[in-house]
Structures are given as C-alpha cells and as structure tokens.
Structure 1
Amino acid sequence: MRILMSGASGFLGTRLADRLRGSGHEVTRLVRRAAQANDEATWQPAQGQIDPQVVAAADVVINLSGANVGGRRWTAGYKSTLRSSRVDTTGTLARAIRKLPEADRPHTLLQASAVGWYGDTGDTAVTEEAPAGRTFLADLCRVWEAAARPAEDAGTRVVLLRTGLTVESLLKPLLPLFKLGGGAKLGGGRQWMAWTSLPDWLGAAEFLLEREDVSGPVNIVGPEQVTNAQFTKAVAAAVHRPALLTVPSPALHLALGELAGESLRSQRVVPAVLERTGFRWTHPTIEAAVQAAAGRPAAASR
C-alpha cells in the first residue's frame, strides 16, 4: 500500500515507518520544511495547507503528529501547543480527504489518540465504549478525535489509536535510577496504569491497517491491567534491585506542576476491540514487557 504519514520523525512514527517499509509498503513522510528526499512531501498544518495530490496518491493516511505531553510543564502556552499540534494536523488531513473526489480518497485514516480520553477511571475497567472523562487530557483527546470527523463523514475508514504509555519510553529515564536501588512507586501506587510495549503498539498499528472491518476507537494497551505499584515491582525485578521508596504526591506536584496529576490518575483501560478481533500480544504481561525493554528475554506470546 501507499502510505502517507505525519509524525514520522517521532518515537513511534520512526519505528512504524521502518516496520511498514519492511512489510513492503511505500511510505511518504510529511515534513514542514522543503522536501529533501523522494519519500518526503511538504505541508504546513498550522495554515491548513497540504497538496491535495499528495493525499490523493495515498491508499492510507497515518497521523501521529502531536507535541510531547510530558515534554514540559503545562503552562497555558504549552497547553495551547499540545492542542494546536494535534487539532491543526488532524483537521488539515481530514479536510483534505473530504475535499477529494470519492475515487481519489484514501480508504483508511489511522489517527493517533490516547487513553487520556477516559480521564480518571478509579478502579473501574473501561472499554472503547466509555465516554470521555473530565480532565485536560480528556478534553484534548475529545477535540483531537473530533478533528478527524470530516474524513469519516466522507466515507474513509477512521481508526482512533487510543494509545497507552509505552514501557520503553517509561523505562528510559527510570532504569538508571532502579539499577542504583532508587526505584519508587508514585504516590500510593494504587493507581492503574494503561501500558503497552513498543513491539505490541507497532504490531497493533499494522494489524489495524489491514483489518478493514475495524473502525472507531481502539485501545492500544496491554491485556493485563496493573497498578503503579505492580509496574514498579516488575521494573525492580528486571534489574534485580529493591524498590522500597515512594515519591509523595506533594513532591510530584512540586516537580511537575499540573502534569503530576496525570501521573497519579488511575486508568484501568481494557483493549476490548483488539481482544475481540484476535490480536496476539508479544508481551501480554507487564513482566514480559519490562524484561524485554530492559534487554532481557521476553515472555512467549499469549
């Protein structure tokens, strides 16, 4: 397939583009500078500008654009950036798809979203049918997903990738601390974490690309629901070090500001669509995912 991808230089996008090329697909990357290679095309999403012929040439559009939620403190300015970096890109692509003649429209749009949609679920397990929560991230996901609606209204299959935290990105700053015996749970540690391994995120994205019978929101998370305390225990076990410390909630708020609330928020998210459609996880447990990310043998597939 011919795939047009935004966000192809990010953590997930770079790896997904490589995987899809390895599977024989042709990937064109959208960039905001002058194109410098045959696999690049220029666009300006902040101005809503994209060459319609670039979109028409694609069978599938994958939109992974968005500023890093955990990249900075959430000032009013950065909150605006988080919103515009998602809504502008999504809206530009969705409107471009809608404006094309029916015969020229890409048949599928894989659209990034996040489990932030659900807000704080407490101890309640939620599937894709659950409504949006009442947090900043929930509102962000609501407008983000809504921006893709013009493509859906035009008849393009839209899959909303509600992604959990990738274990690999979590462990990058944590592993050195845990190896020194400084591992710690956050707050009480009872909050549920919606997680996924990078290989399973990539596998799910490719799986959904090919499953033409699936549309709408899909929770890309591991099948095992775990708390922060259980995650902390799994990381400690992987590096053979104790993790006896606790980061108090006030200290998190002092260090991270409003973002600390997301670290303490409970999200017990179930991948109901992936389970129903027969997706097979490489790392179905948090122990398997952590061990693989830490460079240890991964557990067998479920």
Structure 2
Amino acid sequence: MRIVIAGSSGYLGKPLMQALEGLGEGHDLVRLVRHRPDEENEILWDPYRGPLDPQILDGVDAVVNLCGVNVGGQRWNAAYKKRIETSRVIPTKVLAEAVAAAKVPVMVNASAAGWYGDRADVEVDESTPAAADFLGRLSLKWESATAPAEESGARVVRLRTGHVLGPDSLLLDRFVPFWKWFLGGRFGSGRQYLPWISLRDWVGAAVTAIEDDSIHGPVNMVGPNPATNREFTKALGAAVHRPTPWIIPGWAVKIVAGEAATEILRGAKIKPGVLQAHGYEYQDETLFEALRYALHD
C-alpha cells in the first residue's frame, strides 16, 4: 500500500511508521511535513494556508491523519483551547477534501475518547453520542471534518484514543516521579474511569484499521478491561513498587491544571466494541500489563 501520513513525528506517528515499515508487505510511506523536506519520502504542506494539491495523493491507497497539539500540553485558556481545536479540525478538513478530490479509498483519522465525556459507571461503545462538554464538542467537530472523504465513498475510520501508555508517555512522565517519592494517590473520588491502551496495542490496532477493509467509522482505541482512577493509582503504585495512600482533592487538581483537570477527574467506561468484534488480540489486556510494558519492567 502507498500510505500518506500527517503527524508522523508525534508520539503515535513515529511508532506507527516503524510498524508499517517493519511489516515487510511493500508499504510505501510518504510523510506530510511542515518543515523543509529532508528525505525523499517527505512532502511539504501547510494546512493553514490553503488546500492540499490532490495530485500529491495520486495513486495513494490510504491517508492517515494524526495531527493535533497535546490536549495536556499546558493549562487551558481560551487561546489554547482554540489552538487545540484548530490543530485538529483544519488539517482534517484539508486532508478529507484532498482525499475526496483524489478518490483515495481509505482515510484513517485521529479522534479522542473525550468524545464520551463523563458517563459515570455507564458502559459506552462506538454508538454512544458525543458529550456536550468541551472535549465532546471538539471530538464531534473533529470527526465531522472527515465528511468530504466519507461522502466521496472513501472508507473512513476515526480512532477514538484513550490515554496511551508507553515509554515516554506524557501522562506517566508526569505521574511516576510523584509515585516514586511516595506521593501517589487517587484523584478526587477515584471512581471516575480512565480510558487507557498500551502504545504497542494502539499501534497494532491502528495497523489493523488501515489494512482491514471491513473496519469503518469510529473505533474505540482503549484496552479491553476498563479501569477507574483508583485502580490506575494502585496499578501504577504496584508497577513502581510504592504505596499509594493519598487522596488528592479535586479542587487541588483544578488549581494546578485548571479546566484541563477534566482529563483525570472525569471519564467514561469505554468498551472497544469494534476491535473486539474484529477479533483484535491485545498484547496488554490489563492496566498493570500496560504499565509494566511502559515502564520497561
């Protein structure tokens, strides 16, 4: 397959590129980059300056879009929330229109588990409507931006990704030092769900989504066994061999993280319905397994 990837230099893009290159199935990979191209497989683009020339996608079998600034990159304010949105919606719209014009048969686009918002103990799957909070509305706009590709007849897959646990994970880089200093504890009540998936399972599931013609629409990129924040706290403590006795009040988290605290104070019990229906075999079925892998234990 000839595959064009946007966002290939990110935390998810790099291992996905490596996995596709290592399959030995003749994948021809092209990277859309926003810096001066340094390699033969790189093509310069700037989605904020206008449409992508459809000729760039001539003969392409699939387009993968992983663009978007990190939701937890800094404290949220109006300007950063706007940046979070534009960095996702605009590149998606530009690529979807180019996919439609070039008649590319497959588009695999990033999305987020934030689609579901706070659902307490209610299990949700890919058929559940978007939440009405910021992340839910953002995810709806993000996924809706793929419409031109879908309307042209392309098979569109939208990857609703939870917290990805792997080496150099931003979430773990922030938490592990506190746990190692015996400061680990649950956030708020600890009953809120924290959608997770190991990095290697995210990559494996993404490759499956690219190659399996029967997969389309939203795909929940989460592990098979949902975990609460309390369970995450204990599992991370076990992984780093530390007790986790503390309770960190929700108000304290909000003081430090602001509105971005919703990422760890609210969550949903998400079922990976599509992956399970297609028989995806997880390498890390439990949160503890994912953490051991992420921490090289």
Range of TM-score over shorter length: over 0.9
Give, in whole Å, the separation in 2 of the partners of 1:94 and 1:151.
Answer: 5
Specify the alignment match of 1:199 in structure 2: 200
| Offset at residue 187 of structure 1 (A) | 0.9
1:5 equivalent in structure 2: 5
Match of 1:38 in 2: 40
1:57 Cα deviation after fit? 3.4
Q: Distance in 2 between matches of 1:266 and 1:50?
A: 36
Residue type of the alignment partner of 1:83: E
Q: Does the 8 Å CA contact 2:107/2:156 hold for their aligned counterparts?
A: yes
For residue 178 of structure 1, report the CA deviation from its aligned partner: 1.4
CA distance in 2: counterparts of 1:287 and 1:238, whole angstroms: 7
**Residue 161 of structure 1 aligns to which amino acid in structure 2?**
L
TM-superposed deviation, 1:247? 1.4
Which residue of structure 2 aligns with residue 238 of structure 1?
239
Name the CA distance, whole Å, in 2 between partners of 1:127 and 1:176: 34
1:72 correspondence with 2:77? no
Separation in 2, partners of 1:177, 1:26:
43
Matching of residues 11-90 of structure 1 within 5 Å: 11-24=11-24, 25-90=27-92
Match 1:151 to one of 149, 152, 159: 149
* Structure 1 position 216, deviation (Å): 0.1
CA distance in 1, matches of 2:35, 2:51: 13
2:131 maps to amino acid = G
Q: What 5-or-longer segments of structure 1 have no aligned partner?
A: 297-302
159-168 or 41-50, larger mean C-alpha shift: 41-50
* Match status 1:117 vs 2:115: yes
Backbone CA RMSD of aligned residues? 1.1
How much identity, in percent, do the aligned residues show? 44
Letter in 1 for 2:10: G
1:241-282 CA-partner distances (Å, limit 9, x unpaired): 101112111111111111112321121100011011100000
Structure 2 unaligned regions, length at least 5? none
TM-score (norm 1): 0.94
8 Å CA contact 2:45–2:52 kept in 1: the answer is: yes
How much has 1:176 moved relative to structure 2? Answer: 2.1
Greater CA deviation, 47-56 or 111-120?
Answer: 47-56
- Which structure has more relative contact order (CA 8 Å, sep 6+)? It is 2
Q: Deviations over 1:70-128 (max 9, x none)?
A: 0011111111111111111000001111122xxxx221111000011111111100000
Separation in 2, partners of 1:266, 1:81: 23
In structure 2, distance between residues paired with 1:96 and 1:239: 47
Are 1:42 and 1:50, in contact at CA under 8 Å, matched by a contact in 2? no
